[in-house]
Structure 1
Amino acid sequence: MIRAATRRAPRPAAVSTSTSTSTSPSADGPPAFPQQAWIDVAVIGVLCLLGILGLETSFGDYNFLLAGLGGLLVGTAVAIVGYRLRLGVLTAVLAGVLAYFALGTPFTMPAQGLFVVLPSLESTAGLALGAVFGWADIVTLGTPVEAPYYMPVLPYFAAWLVALVSTMLASRWLPGRRRTVWRASLLLIGPVLLYLAGILMGTDEAYYAALRGVAFAVIALVWIGWRRSRGSVAASAADLPNGSPVRVGTDGVGTDGVGTGRVGTGRLLRRKVLGTATLVVGAVLVGSLAGAALTPPSDARFVLRDEIEPPFDPLQFASPLAGFRMYTKTLADTPLFTVQGLESGDLLRLASMDSYDGKLWNVAGSGGPSGSGGPGDSGSFRLVGRSIPEPVLATSVQNAEVSITATGYSDVWLPGIGYPHTVDFDDADSRALAENLRYNSSSGTAVFTSGVEEGYEYTIAAALQQTYRDEDLENVPVAQLTLPTVQNIPDVVVAKADEFVGTTETPIDQLRAIEQALKTQGFLSHGLASDGAPSRAGHGADRIDELFTRSQMLGDQEQYASAMALMARSLNYPARVVMGFAPEVPEGADSVEITGTNVTAWVEVAFEGIGWIPFFPTPDQTDVPQDQTPKPKTEPQPQVRQPPRADNEADDLLTAVEIDDSTEDEQDRDFELPAWAWAVIFGAGIPLLAFFGPLLVIAALKARRRRRRRNRGAGDLRVAGAWEELTDGYGELGFDVPTRSSRRQVAEQLEAQQLEAQQREAQQPDTAQQPSSLVTLARSVDRAVFNGQPVDDAAVTRHWSEALASLGAVRASAGWARRLIARFRIRSTRSPRSTRSGGPGRPGRPGKP
Structure 2
Amino acid sequence: MSRFTRTARTSAEPGRADGPAADTTAATTARPALRRFPRTGWTDVAVLSLLSLLGVLGLETSFGDYNFLVAGLGGLLVGTGAAVLGYMLRLGVVTNVLAAILLYFLLGTPFTMPGEALIGVLPSIASTAGLALGAVFGWADIVTLGTPVEAPYYMPVLPYFAAWLVALVGTMLASRWLPGRRRTAWRTGILLIGPVLLYLTGILMGTDKTYFAGLRGVAFAVVAIVWVGWRRTSVQGADAAGRSRLLRRKLLGTATVMLGAILIGALVGGVLAPNPKDRFVLREEIQPPFDPLEFSSPLSGFRQYTKTLADTPLFTVTGLQPDEVVRLASMDAYDGKLWNVAAAESVANGSGSFRLVGRTIPEPPLVTSAQNSTVTVDVVGYEDVWLPGVGYPSTVDFDDADSQAESENLRYNADSGTSVLTNGVHPGYEYTMSAMLQQTYRDEDLADVPVADVTLPSVQNIPDVVVAKAIEYSGGTDTPIDSLRAIEQALKTKGFLSHGLASDGIPSRAGHGADRLNELFTRTQMVGDEEQYAAAMALMARSLNYPARVVMGFAPEVPEDATSVEVTGTDVTAWVEVAFDGIGWVAFYPTPEQTDVPQDQTPKPKTVPQPQVRQPPRMDNEADDLLTAVEIDDTKNESKDKDFVLPGWAWAIIGVVGIPLLVLGVPLLIVAALKARRRRRRRTLGTGDRRAAGAWSELTDGFAELGFDVPRDSTRRQVALSLDAQLAAQLAGQPEPKKPRSRVAGTETAPGPDTGAPESVELAPPIEVVDTAAFVAAHRLVPVADAVDSAVFGGTDVDDEVVENTWIQAEESLATAKTSAGRLRRLFSRFRLRSKRDWNQVNVRGSRAAARGRG
Q: TM-score range by the shorter chain?
A: 0.5 to 0.7
Distance 2:297 2:431 in 1: 17
CA distance in 1, matches of 2:271, 2:821: 67
Q: CA deviation at 1:31?
A: 1.6
Gaps in structure 2 of 5+ consecutive residues = 1-27, 311-380, 413-420, 436-497, 508-527, 532-551, 573-640, 738-768, 850-855
Q: Is the aligned partner of 1:227 residue 2:231?
A: yes
Tell me, yes or no, if the aligned pair for 1:834 and 1:840 is still in contact at 8 Å: no
CA distance 1:742–1:136, shift in 2 (3 Å): same
Aligned to 1:784: 791
**In structure 2, C-alpha distance between the alignment counterparts of 1:680 and 1:548, rounded to whole Å:** 77
Aligned to 2:676: 703
Corresponding residue for 1:770?
A: 775
Where does residue 607 of structure 1 map in the other structure? none
CA distance in 2 between counterparts of 1:153 and 1:204 reads: 23
Matches of 1:368 and 1:314, distance apart in 2: 25
Aligned partner of residue 202 in structure 1, secondary structure: coil
Determine which of 385, 388, 392 is the counterpart of 1:357: 388
User: 1:140-539, aligned counterparts within 5 Å?
Assistant: 140-230=144-234, 233=235, 248=236, 254-255=237-238, 263-314=241-292, 320=298, 323-325=301-303, 352-353=383-384, 356-358=387-389, 372=404, 485=431, 528=501, 530=503
Q: 1:756 to 1:214 in 2, by over 3 A?
A: closer
1:311 is paired with a residue whose SS is coil
In the alignment, does 2:58 pair up with 1:50? no
1:87 maps onto 2:98 in alignment: no
Q: Is the 8 A contact 1:739 1:840 kept in 2?
A: no
Report if the CA contact (8 A) 1:105-1:123 is conserved. yes
What letter is aligned with 1:726? L
**One-letter amino acid of the counterpart of residue 747, structure 1:** A
Aligned residues of 1:743 and 1:838 also touching (Cα < 8 A): yes
What is the TM-score normalised by the length of structure 2?
A: 0.54
CA-CA distance at 1:672 after TM superposition? 9.6
- 1:802 maps onto 2:800 in alignment: no
Q: Quote the offset at 1:325 in angstroms.
A: 2.0
| CA deviation after TM superposition for structure 1 residue 820, in Å | 2.0
Are the aligned partners of 2:123 and 2:655 in contact in 1 as well (CA < 8 Å)?
Answer: no
Deviation at 1:750, TM superposition (A): 3.6
**What CA distance in whole angstroms lies between the structure 1 residues aligned with 2:258 and 2:405?**
45
Does the Cα contact within 8 Å between 1:356 and 1:485 map onto a contact in 2? no
SS in 1 for 2:693: helix
Letter of the aligned partner of 1:77 in structure 2? G
Return 5+ residue gaps in structure 1 as ranges. Answer: 1-23, 234-247, 249-253, 333-349, 381-438, 446-478, 490-524, 561-669, 842-849
Relative distance call for 1:791 and 1:33 in structure 2 (3 A) is: same
Tell me the secondary structure at the aligned position of residue 178 of structure 1: coil
C-alpha displacement at 1:799, in angstroms? 2.4
What displacement does 1:787 show?
4.2
How many equivalent residue pairs? Answer: 529
- 1:32 match: secondary structure: coil
Give 1:712 shift: 7.0
| 1:122 alignment partner in structure 2 | 126
**1:731 and 2:704 are equivalent in the alignment:** yes
Q: 1:527 to 1:127 in 2, by over 3 A?
A: closer
Q: Distance in 2 between matches of 1:150 and 1:214?
A: 32
Question: How far apart, CA to CA, are the structure 2 residues paired with 1:796 and 1:742?
Answer: 20
Partner of 2:830: 823
How high is the sequence identity, in percent, across the aligned residues?
56
Distance, in Å, in 2 between the alignment partners of 1:203 and 1:34 is: 40
Residues 783 and 293 of structure 1: CA distance in aligned 2, closer, same or farther (over 3 Å)? same
Letter in 2 for 1:827: R
Distance 1:291 1:713, change over 3 A: farther
Distance 1:368 1:166 in 2: 54
Partners of 1:289 and 1:217 in 2: CA distance: 15
**8 Å CA contact retained: 1:741, 1:840:** no
Q: Distance in 1 between matches of 2:809 and 2:672?
A: 21
Give the C-alpha shift of residue 762 in structure 1. Answer: 1.9
Instruction: Determine if contact 1:54/1:195 at 8 Å carries over to the other structure.
Output: yes
TM-aligned CA deviation for residue 90 of structure 1? 0.6
Seen in structure 2, the aligned counterparts of structure 1 residues 483 and 195 have a Cα distance that, compared at 3 Å, is farther
Q: CA deviation at 1:274?
A: 1.0
- Supply the distance in 2 between the matched residues of 1:482 and 1:185 (Cα, whole angstroms): 56
Contact 2:63 2:147 in 1 (8 A): yes
Greater gyration radius: 2
SS at match of 1:760: coil
CA deviation after TM superposition for structure 1 residue 800, in Å:
2.7
- Deviation of 1:833 after TM superposition, in Å, equals 2.2
Q: Distance in 2 between matches of 1:302 and 1:191?
A: 20
Determine if contact 2:125/2:651 at 8 Å carries over to the other structure: no
User: What CA distance in whole angstroms lies between the structure 1 residues aligned with 2:817 and 2:33?
Assistant: 19
Q: 1:322 to 1:98 in 2, by over 3 A?
A: closer
Alpha-carbon distance in 2 for matches of 1:269, 1:137: 50
Q: For 1:699 and 1:547, locate their aligned partners in 2 and report how far apart those are by CA, in whole Å.
A: 86
How well do the aligned residues superpose, as a CA RMSD in angstroms?
A: 4.8
**1: CA distance between counterparts of 2:428 and 2:798?**
88
Q: What is the DSSP-based 3-state SS (H/G/I as helix, E as strand, rest coil) of the residue aligned with 1:167?
A: helix
Are the aligned partners of 1:71 and 1:156 in contact in 2 as well (CA < 8 Å)? yes
Deviation at 1:72, TM superposition (A): 0.5
Deviation at 1:700, TM superposition (A): 3.4
Q: 1:589-604, aligned counterparts within 5 Å?
A: none
